[in-house]
Chain A
């Protein structure tokens, strides 16, 4: 059974940093592109970033470029999101999602971890 479990969320002050993790199991992690998608409270979904199987390609939504870094450790079946210079508008539930092989959709999602940026 595919499982994605996010962790690392919490309360952080504006300008602060946080590192999210996503532990994957039930599939060959190193064979899939992985993504982060966020959802601000009461708002819609927003794609944040994704990373190729070997980490050689990464893409970001404009609003986080230069502040967020996506990475992965295939030996640990883990995905990460390093978030720096956090702003109030980054407050959201952050979901880890798997992109289907040779696909352009997200076939499995984690339950999410809440990041709150507030003083």
Chain B
């Protein structure tokens, strides 16, 4: 597609529920990032995919968070047993190959999915 698409744009859920957030990156972008942003803060790194594999998942807060990218395109961030502290905007970004490439410095972000856990 022309840009990075994220759905849903807004999600309100109750504490303890399961949520899935979807990201459709720019066609041909092999690198995909998930970030979490709270009000007044910078994007906090969660996980980075290079193709289908998670190259770095060191930012996932705990084992309630999991992300997949089975075909190297669309990615889904999954959060189990949501807690109020999970409330934030979840941002997805993509770029050309994350290897030795100047284009890998240019991340294109989606509009984000705002998650509110009541």
Decide if A and B are genuine partners.
no
B contact residues vs A (CB 8 Å cutoff) = none
